Structure formats: C-alpha cells, structure tokens
Amino acid sequence: MKLLVFLLAAVSAAAQSRQEILGRLSEITGLAVRRPVAEKTMARAELKAYFEARIKEVVKPEEIRIEELVLRMFGFAPKDFDLKKSTIDLMAEQAAAFYDYRKKQMVLLDTAGGGDAMQEMALIHELAHALADQHFQLERFLRKGSTSDDSAMARTAVMEGQATYLMSEFMARKMGQSLKDSPMMVDMMSRTAASGGSGFPVFESVPLYMRESLVFPYSKGMLFQHKAVEKYGQRAYREVFERAPATTREILHPEAYFDQVKPLPVTLPGLANSRGWKKQAEGTAGEFDHSILVKQYAKGEGDLASKWRGGAYRLWERKKDRRAVLSYGSAWEDEKSARQYFKAYRAVLEGKLTGCVFELDSETDLAGKSAEGHFHARLLGSTVTSIEGLERADDAAR
C-alpha cells in the first residue's frame, strides 16, 4: 500500500569514506559507480516536517483515506486508525538517516547515535540504495508495483533486502568472511533486521500489520537476496531488479521466483446493482497479507499462509453515504488447505466485525450481519471468497 511502502524508505545511517564504501559495494555487486552520492544533514527536530512535506508530494489525501479504509475493511487497523500520523511518527522515530530516491541524495541526522560500528553499517545500507538507484531508478521500480499491493511489498523487499544483504556482506568481508559461506551469519542478520523496531514506543503501539510491513522487506528480503546470490552469483544483484518478483510468496519461497510460478486467478463476488457505487481500490492480497490475518485472528494455524496460491480484493464505496463493501477472494494449494483457511476466516470475521452474528454457518457458507453490514463468505473447491459491508443480504450478485 502506497503510504506503507513510502514508510519503508526511511531507515538508519552514518559515516566513513563514501567513495570507499561505494567502491567496495561495486566490487561485490558488479554495478559501476556512476556518480558521487549527494547528501545533506538534518536535525532530528526537522524530520516530521520533512516527512509531512514528502508525503504531501507523493500521496494525495484521498489516496490516504482509501488506504485507511482498505486496512479497516480487512481488519488490519481499527476504525479510529490515523494512517498518515502513524506513518510520520514511525518514520521520525525509526530514522537515523535515509536515501531520498526522488532527490537523489542521502539525508543524515546530525544527532544520529548508536556507536561508530552501527553508524557505519547503516551508512553502507543507504549507499547500497544509492548504487541500486543509479542503475535501476528506485522510484520507477517501486511505482511499477503500485497497482498491486502484494507486488509493491515484494518490490520493496527486493530494494530493502538487497541493501540489508550488502550491508551484512560488506561487514563480513571486513572480517575475512562471506555470507555465502556462513548460513549462521545470514540467519543472525535476518533475525536482527526482524527485531529492529522492538522497544520503540511508536513501533510497539501501531497495528500488527504496520509492524510486520516495516520489518518484512529487511528480514525476508535479505533471505531472498541470499538465495538469489546462491543461485545466480553476482548476476543476482541485477536479476532481482530486472526481473522483479510479483508476489510476496516469491520473497518467502524463492523457488517460486526461480521457477516463475504465477499466482492463480480468483473470481471475486460482485454487487447485484452497482449503480451509485464507485470502485475505489483493487489489488492482490498475497501470502504476506494472509499470514497477518491468520496470526492476528486465527492463532494456532501455524504456516497456513504458505498454502496461499492467489488472492485479490476490490473495494466499493457508495457516494451518497460512503458505505464501503469489500469483495475478496483467495486461492489455495488444494481443497484441504482451502477448508482449513475457511475455518480460520470464520475467526477473522468474528474478530474484525463488530457484533458479528452468523445466520448461516455451514462447511461451505458463512453468512450473517454485524455493525458494518451483511457478509457472505463461501468455500468452493480450493477457493475462498467473501463480500462484506452489504446494506442488505441480497445486495450481493448471485
């Protein structure tokens, strides 16, 4: 989602010889340094104003409202959730520096602390972004995934995962080692990336979806890059940008990326009468999204999300009263995993809908009503679909 992806561009950084670092990154990746990297220093007190201005440039207020609505309809955020404020607060809390790929410059905080080693590692990460930007134009690269939420997350994982991997490989080589020879080090660095936000008040206060969205590109993206390097060698640093993964499943299961496995299509439920309704958003709901739904609402289902094989959604809104309807569907590995997810989705409906009452509760149908409106979820073979927020039960197309 646009604002969440924008948040992921803000990370940590600091100092050493910029040109020396770029030179070593060039040796590792085979990507030539085409120009020096511009930089500016900023006081931490300036951060919020800077991020507010950037968000105003990149995302329209109506896009933020729709994004909030999608998060709420899926159950990823509460009704009173303020996405813009939470994003700005998170960036201001987490950032020690970041690479601004629109202005082609690195922004360093003059109050950045944490010790010379940590600052050096963060600087390497940012310069890795700058080097990639010189070859693959990061803004355009990310924008190509903007029509599909899952694709956008996958592309962000490519960008952040490669920078995290290069930061780790750079430091390993300083010690005469390489990640290629040390699975233990790869695992350790990935775990470190996954726990990066822990202990920060804003990070701990935001919904699970935002927390996971922030760390996923670094931790899982790094593991994906490692697998790509194992398979393609130095060519991997180009390959993942030039043939970007389309789904988070490919990030989580690199063999799906190597084998070019495509997600299965899903037919979504529709409205009986779409007059007066506007399609506000549509996209893919990927393995990452389903892992959060299962983790948040259907505890104990383990790795069920790994059985995901396709997913999509469409959000409708009625102009006269802003009633919203979510049409959603997912495809699964087989009928057994679809049945398992259908049962889990019952817990999702109960957890996210206010005053949820089931009027039909069978092995293949879940229908009822809540404060948000009527809903109907169905299991058909290896597919699960749902339409939610209807004013009347018969407003769904048959």
Q: Residue-wise pLDDT tens for the chain (398 aa)?
A: 444 443 444 333 333 488 899 999 999 999 999 999 998 888 878 888 888 888 888 889 999 999 999 999 999 999 999 999 998 888 888 777 789 998 999 888 775 444 456 677 888 999 999 999 999 999 999 998 776 689 999 999 999 999 999 999 998 998 899 998 888 888 888 888 777 666 788 989 999 999 999 999 999 999 999 999 999 999 999 999 999 999 999 999 999 999 999 999 999 999 999 899 999 999 999 999 999 999 999 987 779 999 999 999 999 999 899 999 999 999 999 999 999 999 999 999 999 999 999 999 999 999 999 999 999 999 999 999 999 999 999 988 86
* 315 plus 218 within the same structural domain: no
* 31 plus 100 within the same structural domain: yes
b/e 160-169 (16+ beta carbons within 10 angstroms → b): bbbbbbbbbb
- Specify whether the CB–CB gap between 217 and 245 falls below 8 A: no
Write the DSSP assignment of 68-133 as a string of letters. Answer: HHHHHHHTSS-TT--HHHHHHHHHHHH-SEEEETTTTEEEEETT--S-HHHHHHHHHHHHHHHHHH
Structure tokens at 292: 């959060």
* 249 plus 302 within the same structural domain: no
Taking the C-alpha atoms of residue 182 and residue 188, their distance in angstroms, rounded to an integer, is 10
- Specify burial of residue 75 (Cβ count, 10 A radius: 0-12, 13-18, 19+): buried
Taking the C-alpha atoms of residue 284 and residue 151, their distance in angstroms, rounded to an integer, is 8
* 119 plus 197 within the same structural domain: yes
* 177 plus 84 within the same structural domain: yes
Whether residue 46 is contained in a domain is answered as yes
* 282 plus 323 within the same structural domain: yes
* 371 plus 248 within the same structural domain: no
- Specify whether the CB–CB gap between 303 and 282 falls below 8 A: no
* 206 plus 310 within the same structural domain: no
Q: How far is CA 378 from CA 159, 349, 353, 387, in A?
A: 37, 13, 17, 9
Domain boundary among 258, 292, 313: 258
The number of folded domains in the chain is: 2
Taking the C-alpha atoms of residue 33 and residue 46, their distance in angstroms, rounded to an integer, is 30
* 351 plus 250 within the same structural domain: no
Note the Cα 349 to chain centre separation in Å: 23
Structure tokens at 10: 């803000």
- Specify whether the CB–CB gap between 18 and 101 falls below 8 A: no
* 240 plus 297 within the same structural domain: no
pTM: 0.91
Residue-level length of the chain: 398
* 31 plus 107 within the same structural domain: yes
| Domain limits for position 318 | 277-395
